[in-house]
Amino acid sequence: MKRLLLLAALVLFSIPVQAQVDRATLTGTVKDQQGAVISGATIAVTHTGTNVTTRVRTTSEGVYLAPNLISGTHTVAAEAQGFGTQ
């Protein structure tokens, strides 16, 4: 009886479980027309269904990271002093 219970416990606890994540991360580099990176640019990532906007700034290397975004379609706008919004 103990063996049967142990076997049942092993079978039940050995079933693999997969996690599902409904969030995303967007990353990129902002550069000008000559290919120079733009540090301190503001990036606005807007979910088109909810109009929720996540704002981040680029690093000194021109890199941005927008974490924990809701799944779906987004628009991305970059703005920096001396440049137009793209």
- The tens place of each residue's pLDDT in the chain, 86 residues long, gives 666 666 665 566 655 666 677 889 999 999 998 999 999 999 999 999 999 999 999 999 999 999 999 989 999 999 999 888 88
Q: What is the pLDDT of residue 69?
A: 94
Neighbours of 43 (CB within 10 A): 21
Strand segments, DSSP code E, in the chain are: 23-29, 42-47, 53-57, 63-70, 74-79
Report which of 19, 17, 39 is spatially closest to residue 29, judged by C-alpha positions: 39
Q: What is the pLDDT of residue 84?
A: 85
